[in-house]
Structure 1
Amino acid sequence: MKINIKHIFIACLMGVSSQSVLAQTEFNIDGEVQDAEVVIEKERKIELNKEYKLYEFIKWKPATATPVAKPSEFKWYIYDVANEPMQFAPAKAKVQQKEKSYQHYGKAGFGNYTSPLLDVSMTTAGDANQMVGLNIKHESFGTGEVDGKNSGTAASEINLYGAMIREQIKLESSLNYRLEKNYYYGYPEGTVVNNSDIKHNANFINLGLSATDNQLEDAWSYSAGANFKHYSDNFDVSENTFLTSIGVGYGEQFFLDTDLALSKYTDTGIDESRSYVRLNPYYRLTIQRLQLDVGLSASFQNDDIPDLSSSRFFPYAKASYSLTEDYTVFAKLDGGYTFNSLYDFAQEVGYLNQAVGIVNSQRSFDLTGGITGNLMEQLSVTAMVGYQSIKYLPILLNNAADQSRLDLIYDPEHSNVFTFKGSAQYEVNDAHQVSLGVNVYGYSSSSYDQIYHRPTSEILVSGDHQIIPKLNAKWNFTFTGGLVGRDQATDTDIILDAIPQLDLGLHYQLKEQWGIFLSGENLINKKYQRYLYYTQRGIQIKGGVTFRL
């Protein structure tokens, strides 16, 4: 008997249509499907686009307390870690009754060390293709562990965000302004210091604009982004930096990524202009489970430093291979320059000395690789190793004349950086999730016996628990070890104590729109030194209210 393909195709369409009609039926029983719809478009790629909501900066549940050794704190010397391949098994759909949507969130509280907290977010609603959001934050500590107000800190921040999606293009814009206030309080014990003489105010401005190709059927693809960054402080230091990146692809095989940086740094007696360009053309080869990118990394810069050439060419390769449906191995080979800026250094370390020199770093060799996958349905793991040979690696040292200022110096010889990173996420159930991260670093240099103020080990364990429907708890424990400082006056290395820190946050939903929170940071009460001579605060307790509209 002959099978008529046409008749089978028509029958399938009728079956799908009937299912679609049934899916649109409304049910009034709680927990049943409402307003669900199935749409099938022939020959159209199915993509999951990010849904940008500014109010996600403030979770209705209390945000996880910032750990002492947050990864971003060390990002300026962990160079270009390989991106993990984004390969996923088919998604498991969970259909449930739609919850009420909230567009405005807020959090206000107060704690010991005279520490007010305010965090408010507002977004527009109604049009899924365009939105505008506003976020305002303030957190401060009126006192600290050294001479009361002399070790206080404050940070105020305003964020604006906008997004617009059209048939052919997606546009995003952002504006961030941050004002930080602190004091150079790392002076010898017993020193009489005027509070106004050690005060430090820093301004950070970041204006960004990006565009992404939104055409699914076009062979060409593109993305472009631009950022203007400004840094200035009350010591007449200023830096303006313009960054842009452009990516072009054709036929999902040929790609070109371009980065450009232009910077102008001024200080008393200093007026320095810097430039950086990186071209990264590559070809993508896909053979069954293997995806291989092969190309060239070409970098150009104008830092007039001995032994730092104006151009550098290095082979570029990136690969990912699916061992099984659950496991993928990946690797990346790269080299060239890393563009350094005062904006990034000052944002991570608030006690930098004035008149710091800004120099690019040369990655003479950069190789990373690892494996990621799911040991079981609820447990995902990643392990990665890396080796970088870096020339002009930035190092932090206390100033010899004024130990409360941290100088930024560079290793003119090749520094070798070895890295191991492991992470795991375990979802016990919908109400309980636990994660673990372990980082191990090794450094060697012919110029320095130690790479100062950099940890050799970091551990982060965190959890998120919905104890009862109205009560949520979040916690994290961090351990940072291997930190070493140097006393320039005596030419001796000082091994800093390891830093264990435990943070806990509780949130209770009083009513639909109002709640209360209680948080504790550094509950172990370790008055540690992340940087030499800078003793940090002990237990920090805060409480307050939250709302959503």
Structure 2
Amino acid sequence: MLKYTLLIGLGFCSFVTFAQEEEQVPQEEAKGNLGEIEVVRDYKPILADAVKIRQSPDLTNNRKYLSKLNYSVFDRKLDINTGTHRLEIQQLPAMRPDILTNNYAKIGAGNFNTLLGEVYISNGEDQALQVGGFAKHLSQKGSDYEGQNFSEQKIGLFGRSILDRITLNGEIGFNRYATRYYGFVPLQPELNTDPTKQHYNDLYLKGELNSNYEDNEELLSYSLKVDGYLFGNAFSTKENSFALSANINKKVNAFNVGANVSGDFTSLKSNDLSLGNHIARLNSYIRFQGKNYKLTLGATLVSEFGGEENRNNIFPTVDFDFALVPEYASIYAGVKGDVVKTSFRSLANENPFLTESPFLDTTSNSLVVRNMLEKLHVFGGLKGNAGATFGYKVGVFYKQISDLPFYAIQPNSPSRYDIIYDRGEKNKVFGLEGDINVRVSEAVSLGGNLLFNEYDLENEAEAWYIPKLRLAANTRINISKKVYIDGELFFNDAMKAKSYQQYAGVSGTDPNAPVTVSMPSFVDISAGLEYRATKQIGVYVRGNNLLNKGYERFLYYPRLGFNIIGGVNVSF
């Protein structure tokens, strides 16, 4: 029964399959007969209620607030081993510079018979070894007063060597300055019709040894300096000096300990008389230094010997520096004392019209030299800078001084100056000082300094020839790569000079009685212009005392009026 049933089913399936076989239509008829399509009704898509969105759209178009995202980026080095290596710098072959600026020469001439010659020579290319020399000549002759002549010559050799552990510096030279006693007294012009010649010769030697900086702070730092000179005028006054000084410093934990020691041995000779003026000095200190402060505590022992008076003094030394704003503003303060050497050389460089023997005491027929004693010197102020374009310093000071040296004309010869002293024990000086340097741009720079002094003396009526205010300013402007301008201004406040009735026009019973003469303030302005015609040759012109004022720095000695000088300088 199962067999027959299976056969009947298979037969029925084959019949149905044969019934669905598609009738073959000839190819020619198929091209013209596309068939028939019966349309029952239009098609309309209908969605079920379950998939419909029953919410109206919001058309306000407001952007939603997005919170700020914070990312935490880890500082990790990405190591990628690509086989690359650091590039090596290719060394360039040594080339000779186009211009050697370490050597130059200058010549010039101007009114008042002005002659100028200057030369400077140095090896210049080896930074560890510098050797060179210089020479200069300048002479002028005024026409307003008899003997108003000046001349100056300088010549010297220098050297500098930087070794592994030390640096050596040295210089030897000769300076000569010549003039005449052309002092002119308006009320008595016949006093000085034939001015006497005067000149000063200065042969000097300098040497210095310094230890080089080491990374190891525990090493001992040290320096040694020697200074000597032979100085004399056209007459019989001579001064010889030899000074030796040394410094050692050692860092111990958080502080430094050190000492400065020096010996200055000076001898003075005049009119077959001689006198010694020797000063020995020892300064020991301990310095505490932190990140923003520095404090130095110490004491100075000064001994004077070899002269008329021998003195020993001990002075405290306190120096404090604190950075209010590091690298921009610091306050400083201190207390100290010292002995300032009275030197024939330094006094003559300031006032060349000293008498033939300024230290001769005619009453005792002996030489008298007294060193200035600063019993107390208190100072403080503010200093700082703003990078390399602006630097400043302003401070005040107070001093108690004895044996102050001053200039005074001789009673019987007003064209010559003596040295007098105020030996008061209660002399006081209050002062204000300031410095400023401004670099406006790479082409413009400015600078200036100010000094104000107020003296309260015990014996002398005034601080002779010392102005209350001195002001100096300078500028340099690079107009282009070839044109340079520089200028200087110097202001000297009114001064007091010590004279006598017969020269000052004061009537009295004693013509040799001293009187005080007021000297007016003055301003001295100078300016210069330089044009670089080529990279090695330049042309310059300079004017001095542009206001053409015959002012007096020292009584009865008028200065030259407006003078101009021009010439050529060469670099090689």
Same fold (TM over 0.5): yes
The equivalent of 1:314 in structure 2 is 315
CA distance in 2, matches of 1:399, 1:390: 25
CA distance in 2, matches of 1:542, 1:125: 29
CA distance in 1, matches of 2:157, 2:307: 38
The equivalent of 2:339 in structure 1 is 337
The equivalent of 2:176 in structure 1 is 179
Q: Indicate the SS of the match to 1:350.
A: coil
The equivalent of 1:386 in structure 2 is 397
The equivalent of 2:473 in structure 1 is 461
CA distance in 2, matches of 1:114, 1:210: 40
* 1:539 lines up with 2:562 in the alignment: yes
CA distance in 2, matches of 1:192, 1:108: 38
The equivalent of 1:278 in structure 2 is 281
Q: Indicate the SS of the match to 2:383.
A: strand
The equivalent of 1:243 in structure 2 is 243
Instruction: Give unmatched runs, 5+ long, in structure 2.
Output: 1-74, 360-368, 501-511
1:375 shift after superposition: 6.0
CA distance in 2, matches of 1:529, 1:450: 18
* 1:203 lines up with 2:205 in the alignment: no
Contact 1:517 1:545 in 2 (8 A): yes
The equivalent of 2:221 in structure 1 is 221
The equivalent of 1:360 in structure 2 is 371
Pair 1:231–1:134, CA change in 2 (3 A): same
Show CA shifts across 1:325-376 (max 9, x none): 2101112211131122111111221011132232211111011211112368
Pair 1:509–1:440, CA change in 2 (3 A): same
The equivalent of 2:141 in structure 1 is 142
CA distance in 1, matches of 2:340, 2:561: 36
1:524 shift after superposition: 0.6
Q: TM-score, normalised by structure 1?
A: 0.80
Within a 5 Å distance, the mapping from 1:437-456 to structure 2 comes to 437-456=449-468
1:309 shift after superposition: 5.5
The amino acid that maps onto 2:491 is F
* 1:514 lines up with 2:537 in the alignment: yes
Contact 1:303 1:360 in 2 (8 A): no
1:502 shift after superposition: 0.9
The amino acid that maps onto 1:211 is L
The amino acid that maps onto 2:172 is L
1:245 shift after superposition: 1.0
- After superposition, the CA RMSD in angstroms is 2.5
Stretch of structure 1 that moved more, 494-503 or 410-419: 410-419
Pair 1:514–1:188, CA change in 2 (3 A): same
Show CA shifts across 1:181-216 (max 9, x none): 101111434226464x61001101110111001251
CA distance in 1, matches of 2:389, 2:167: 34
Bigger-Rg structure (1/2): 2
Pair 1:271–1:144, CA change in 2 (3 A): farther
The equivalent of 2:329 in structure 1 is 327
Pair 1:428–1:418, CA change in 2 (3 A): same
The equivalent of 2:304 in structure 1 is 301
Stretch of structure 1 that moved more, 446-455 or 248-257: 248-257
CA distance in 2, matches of 1:333, 1:500: 35
CA distance in 1, matches of 2:272, 2:119: 42
The equivalent of 2:551 in structure 1 is 528
Pair 1:18–1:366, CA change in 2 (3 A): farther
CA distance in 1, matches of 2:181, 2:530: 35
The equivalent of 1:351 in structure 2 is 353
The amino acid that maps onto 1:523 is L
Contact 2:378 2:398 in 1 (8 A): yes
1:423 shift after superposition: 2.0
Contact 1:187 1:402 in 2 (8 A): no
Show CA shifts across 1:118-162 (max 9, x none): 111000144221121111011111225322xx0111000102111
Contact 2:183 2:192 in 1 (8 A): no
Within a 5 Å distance, the mapping from 1:362-511 to structure 2 comes to 362-374=373-385, 378-414=389-425, 415-488=427-500, 489-511=512-534
Q: Which has the higher contact order (CA 8 A, sep 6+)?
A: 1
CA distance in 1, matches of 2:463, 2:452: 14
1:242 shift after superposition: 0.5
CA distance in 2, matches of 1:281, 1:236: 40
CA distance in 1, matches of 2:310, 2:98: 58
Pair 1:529–1:289, CA change in 2 (3 A): same
Contact 2:451 2:470 in 1 (8 A): yes
Pair 1:311–1:516, CA change in 2 (3 A): same
CA distance in 1, matches of 2:475, 2:116: 23
The amino acid that maps onto 1:393 is L
The equivalent of 2:29 in structure 1 is none
Contact 2:277 2:307 in 1 (8 A): no
Pair 1:287–1:540, CA change in 2 (3 A): same
The equivalent of 1:133 in structure 2 is 132
The amino acid that maps onto 2:232 is S
Pair 1:354–1:281, CA change in 2 (3 A): same
Contact 2:136 2:153 in 1 (8 A): yes
The equivalent of 1:43 in structure 2 is none
The equivalent of 1:92 in structure 2 is none
Q: Indicate the SS of the match to 2:345.
A: helix
Show CA shifts across 1:475-524 (max 9, x none): 01111103111213452211111111110000000111111100000001
CA distance in 2, matches of 1:192, 1:484: 23
CA distance in 2, matches of 1:257, 1:116: 45
The amino acid that maps onto 1:123 is S
Pair 1:188–1:167, CA change in 2 (3 A): same
